[in-house]
């Protein structure tokens, strides 16, 4: 079993990213062989500013490392450092029916909302397939939004194998349907595009104020409260170990414990989880040489693997 995931660096990582993807992926990396990379080539479909891209790539990498990703254990790399992926991308494009891409939700959504549709966006699923197939990944954890991309990848690999035999490994999705949506400060899904995020490290100075200003109902302090009615408890229960979450739920139900108290505990828990990690993050962001070393070592390991696959593919095609 080999698990692979990519992270598109299009925003500063926030608490929703931590709970929804960083924490589970770091946990999984302790049990399985994992490949994890920063999909900077995918970010090129939208990002046009060099400084912005560089900052986002470093921020995402520093955040993952600060949150416990061990680059010795996980093959951790930057997509653009592995040219074999781009080479495979072209080959796979020749095995991708146009109809398959015409049906892709991501490109259709952009087209329908009048956003720029460049060919990179249109062929996004092909590059993503190259990401996955270059490493003989057997399992890819994906959210609902990426499910279709994985189906496209499976289609492409199957079609290639139909002509050339079992050359490519057809991956399985790991779809975690029961992961809860992480709510943002306004109760909607926490997302950069809603402007309702709690930052992890970058601009974290405002976190306390953001949490303290979460709107809560006006049940008097002494009255019992329904924990699940409030965003404060929802976030707390997603961040805290089960027994601690249950403790807060009991206090809320018992009465005599207000939302203000709960918010303070949420702020304290946030600091408990991220204060030490923020120091690592700050160090990595201030010293880019250290990050570059991590990327260089990861690229070396990743390239060795991808070169193997590419070699197999080229032989099958008659290119070698």
Of 320, 4, 285, 32, residue with least CA distance to 138: 4
Among 8, 12, 78, 263, which residue sits at the site for ligand TRP (rule: CB under 6 A)?
8
Q: Work out whether 42 is an interface residue with ligand TRP (CB under 6 A).
A: yes
Q: Work out whether 309 is an interface residue with ligand TRP (CB under 6 A).
A: no
Q: Closest CB to ligand TRP among 130 and 231?
A: 130
Binding region for ligand TRP (CB under 6 A) out of 3-11, 57-65, 154-162, 263-271: 3-11
CA-based max dimension of the chain: 77
Q: Work out whether 5 is an interface residue with ligand TRP (CB under 6 A).
A: yes
Q: Closest separation between CB of residue 309 and ligand TRP, Å?
A: 15
Among 3, 22, 69, 128, which residue sits at the site for ligand TRP (rule: CB under 6 A)?
128
Q: Work out whether 146 is an interface residue with ligand TRP (CB under 6 A).
A: yes
Q: Work out whether 6 is an interface residue with ligand TRP (CB under 6 A).
A: yes
Among 3, 26, 36, 39, which residue sits at the site for ligand TRP (rule: CB under 6 A)?
39
- The count of residues interacting with ligand TRP (CB under 6 A) is 11
Q: Closest separation between CB of residue 27 and ligand TRP, Å?
A: 17
What gap in Å lies between CA 59 and CA 53, rounded to an integer? 10
List Cα–Cα distances, 264 to 35, 171, 236, in angstroms: 38, 44, 11
Binding region for ligand TRP (CB under 6 A) out of 2-10, 66-74, 219-227, 253-261: 2-10
What gap in Å lies between CA 95 and CA 275, rounded to an integer? 48
Closest residue to ligand TRP using C-beta atoms: 6
Alpha helices in 67-118 (DSSP H): 83-93, 98-102, 105-112
Residue listed under structure tokens 């049906």: 103
List Cα–Cα distances, 290 to 12, 83, 212, 284, in angstroms: 20, 22, 36, 7
Among 43, 67, 82, 132, which residue sits at the site for ligand TRP (rule: CB under 6 A)?
132
**Strand positions, DSSP E, the chain:** 2-7, 33-38, 75-78, 139-142, 172-175
Binding region for ligand TRP (CB under 6 A) out of 81-89, 127-135, 207-215, 275-283: 127-135
304: which residues sit within 8 A by CB, 6+ positions away? none
Among 56, 88, 133, 140, which residue sits at the site for ligand TRP (rule: CB under 6 A)?
140
Beta bridge partners of residue 139, listed in sequence order = 3, 172
Provide the 8-state DSSP code for 45. Answer: T
Q: Work out whether 14 is an interface residue with ligand TRP (CB under 6 A).
A: no
Q: Applying CB under 6 A, which residues contact ligand TRP?
A: 4-6, 8, 39, 42, 128, 131-132, 140, 146
């Amino acid at each position: 079993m080999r698990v692979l995931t990519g992270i598109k660096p299009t925003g500063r990582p926030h608490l929703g990213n931590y709970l929804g993807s960083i924490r589970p992926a770091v946990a999984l990396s302790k049990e399985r062989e994992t490949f994890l990379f920063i999909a900077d080539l995918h970010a090129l479909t939208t990002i046009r500013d060099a400084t912005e891209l560089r900052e986002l790539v470093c921020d995402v990498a520093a955040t993952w490392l600060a949150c416990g990703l061990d680059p010795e254990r996980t093959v951790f790399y930057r997509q653009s450092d592995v040219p074999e992926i781009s080479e495979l991308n072209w080959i796979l494009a020749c095995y991708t029916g146009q109809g398959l891409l015409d049906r892709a939700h991501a490109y259709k959504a952009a087209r329908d909302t009048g956003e720029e549709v460049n060919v990179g966006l249109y062929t996004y699923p092909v590059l993503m397939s190259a990401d996955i197939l270059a490493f003989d990944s057997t399992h890819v954890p994906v959210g609902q939004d990426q499910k279709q991309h994985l189906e496209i990848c499976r289609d492409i690999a199957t079609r290639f194998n139909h002509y050339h035999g079992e050359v490519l490994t057809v991956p399985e999705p790991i779809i975690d349907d029961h992961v809860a949506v992480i709510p943002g400060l306004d109760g909607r899904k926490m997302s950069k595009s809603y402007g309702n995020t709690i930052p992890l490290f970058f601009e974290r100075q405002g976190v306390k104020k953001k949490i303290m200003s979460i709107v809560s109902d006006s049940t008097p302090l002494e009255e019992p409260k329904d924990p699940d009615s409030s965003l404060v408890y929802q976030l707390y229960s997603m961040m805290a170990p089960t027994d601690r979450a249950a403790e807060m739920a009991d206090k809320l139900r018992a009465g005599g414990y207000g939302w203000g108290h709960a918010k303070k505990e949420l702020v304290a828990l946030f600091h408990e989880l991220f204060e030490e990690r923020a120091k690592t993050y700050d160090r990595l962001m201030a010293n880019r040489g250290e990050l570059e070393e991590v990327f260089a070592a990861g690229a070396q390991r990743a390239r060795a693997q991808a070169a193997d696959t590419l070699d197999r593919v080229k032989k099958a095609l008659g290119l070698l």
